Amino acid sequence: MKVLAISGSPRKGKTTDRVIKEVLKGVACETEFIRLAPLEISPCTACLACLTDNVCKIKDDMRSLREKIIEADAFVIGAPNYFSMMNGITHNFLERLCQFRHQSCRMLAGKLGVVVSTGGIHPQIPGQQIERIFSYYQIDHVGTIEVQGAASCFTCGHGEECDVGAVQMMYGAGTKITEDIIPDLSKQVAKIVEAQELGKLLTKRLAQKTGAVADVA
């Protein structure tokens, strides 16, 4: 059994990466964590060259992920909210899974999927979109965790006076940025527990799939 965890956040070690890693703490089988940001993964070009053999012909880093995707029994996929959508890096990756779907080819069908959804104000949005894409690929959705992360506006240096930034959107004009108002996973203990529980649930579901007994608390 193998769980492939994919983070679409360009910010290494920030909320999306951290929540995914908390989910993986609850997973009792082999896992691999991959960040998409250092990889070159372009969007689907609708060339249909994958139509006959279910192999995408675009020469980029999706090629090195292809076998890992096929071999995985489950995915943990995380994305941040950018402008009320999942961010582009994650979307490119999910588009390119289209190669597995042509001609009724169900290469991803029945694999399990957990979603990690983050956002500065609306953390639920990317998760809803990923869940919908899971259904196109017939990935069996196990659960979603939504976590508030810190928008860059808290640290960009202009957060207090910027009237289009997240600080004023969340707290209003005149707000001083202090440590206690900056969202951080460490302040959301219930979310850390929820993430690990989701990992355990994924382990149980994987065990049920194979008929093995889940050895998790």
CA distances to 55, 67, 104, 105, 169 from 136, rounded to whole Å, are 18, 20, 11, 12, 34
Q: List beta partners, residue 17.
A: none
Question: CB 68 → ligand FMN: shortest distance, Å?
Answer: 21
- Residue 11 interacts with ligand FMN (CB under 6 A)? yes
CA distance 105 to 93: 18
Helix axis angle for 125-137 and 88-96, nearest 10°, is 10
Residues near 26 by beta carbon (within 8 Å), at least 6 away in sequence: 195, 196, 197, 198, 199, 200, 201, 202, 203, 216
Q: Which of 97, 151, 167, 195: binder of ligand FMN (CB under 6 A)?
A: 151
Site for ligand FMN in 83-122 (CB under 6 A): 83-84, 118-122
Is residue 19 within 8 Å of 116, Cβ to Cβ? yes
Q: In terms of DSSP bridges, do strands 2-7 and 74-82 run parallel, antiparallel, or are they unpaired?
A: parallel
Question: CB 159 → ligand FMN: shortest distance, Å?
Answer: 12
Question: CB 107 → ligand FMN: shortest distance, Å?
Answer: 28
The tokens 């579901």 sit on which residue?
205
Q: Which of 14, 91, 111, 191: binder of ligand FMN (CB under 6 A)?
A: 14
- Residue 8 interacts with ligand FMN (CB under 6 A)? no
Number of residues that bind ligand FMN (CB under 6 A): 19
Q: Please, which residue, 81 or 203, has the CB nearer to ligand FMN? A: 81
Question: CB 183 → ligand FMN: shortest distance, Å?
Answer: 8
Q: Please, which residue, 49 or 181, has the CB nearer to ligand FMN? A: 181
Site for ligand FMN in 63-82 (CB under 6 A): 80-82
- Residue 15 interacts with ligand FMN (CB under 6 A)? yes
- Residue 144 interacts with ligand FMN (CB under 6 A)? no
Q: List beta partners, residue 74.
A: 3, 112
- List contacts with ligand FMN (CB under 6 A): 9, 11, 14-16, 80-84, 118-122, 149-152
